[in-house]
Amino acid sequence: MTTLSNHVPDPRLITAFAERRDGPLHRVNPWTKVGVVGALVLAVTVFDRLALLAGLYGAVLVVYGLAGLPYRRLAGWYTLPMLFIVSVAGPLAFLEPGTPIGGALSTPLGELSVTWAGLVLFGELSCRSLTVVTFALTASMTTKYTDVAYMLGRLLPRPIDQIALLTYRFTFVMIETLEDLVKAALSRGANFSEFWSNKRLYARILGMTMLSAIEQSERLVKSMEARGYNGDITLYGDVPRPPARELIVIAACYAGVVAYALVGVYEVVPV
């Protein structure tokens, strides 16, 4: 039976963790989390040693745990990122030049083997990807809905901010609409286990979801215009600037990454 996937993070669950829990990271300023995400993206891009990348990934995993978030869910949510890594890093592990691990398998196209360099590359790509995935989820699960909405309004130019705010608001509605449609079809005896024999049923459900979205947008237009919408969805609330100690942490993160890049990777500054 196919219903909504449990290996794709459900925005409702993510928001519930942000709204109902109160871990140490819930009290960290949301702008600080955005800053750390940027530093992590830079770090996993410039770090060039597996041990360093594994250490960074381990540290982020510890932060995830300290925030009081569930590891079991995280393992399920790794399914798609790992699939992406395997889809490219898998072939690279075989094609990467280097010393073969064990014996080589003879094929009509030549010898096939995983090399040590390929295995290390696979490990590096996994650590790089999972580090940011884990912290992005940590930040999402510890930042309240109003704070996310406020930051979307501040970070994105108009009209993208308006679109993003409506998307954020209506994602929950559309997921429930889709879920209701799936449940209704199941209660009428539908079978989702095979795609090709049920392709029209899938199309009807997805089509109804899109149609429902379009009709909701038409109703929304009327209510927006009735309230005098002039291109601005007013945001209530405020996310203040991070306190000094958090600014120092962000600055230290960036300084550390840049220093490592200059000294250890690009060797601009000789040691």
User: In this structure, what DSSP letter does residue 265 have?
Assistant: I
64 interacts with another protein by CB under 8 A: no
Q: Residue 208 and residue 194: Cα distance in Å, rounded? A: 20
Task: Record the tokens describing residue 252, joined without a space.
Answer: 């230290």
CB of 242 to another protein, least distance (A): 19
CB of 142 to another protein, least distance (A): 12
CB of 24 to another protein, least distance (A): 20
Site for another protein in 120-159 (CB under 8 A): 121, 124-126, 128-134, 136-137, 139-140, 157-159
Q: Which residues pair with 100 in a beta bridge?
A: 115
Site for another protein in 23-52 (CB under 8 A): 37-38, 40-41, 43-48
Contacts 24+ apart (CB under 8 A), 96-100: 96/121
Each residue 67-106 as x (binds another protein by CB under 8 A) or -, in order, gives ----------x--xx--xx-xx--xx--xxx---------
Task: Record the tokens describing residue 248, joined without a space.
Answer: 């120092």
Quick one: which of 8, 62, 66, 252 contacts another protein (CB under 8 A)?
8
Q: Which of 37, 46, 15 is nearest to 146 (CA)?
A: 15
Each residue 232-271 as x (binds another protein by CB under 8 A) or -, in order, gives ----------------------------------------
- Do 96 and 140 contact (CB within 8 A), yes or no? no
Judged by beta carbon, residue 14 or residue 29, the one nearer another protein is 14
Neighbours of 185 (CB within 10 A): 18
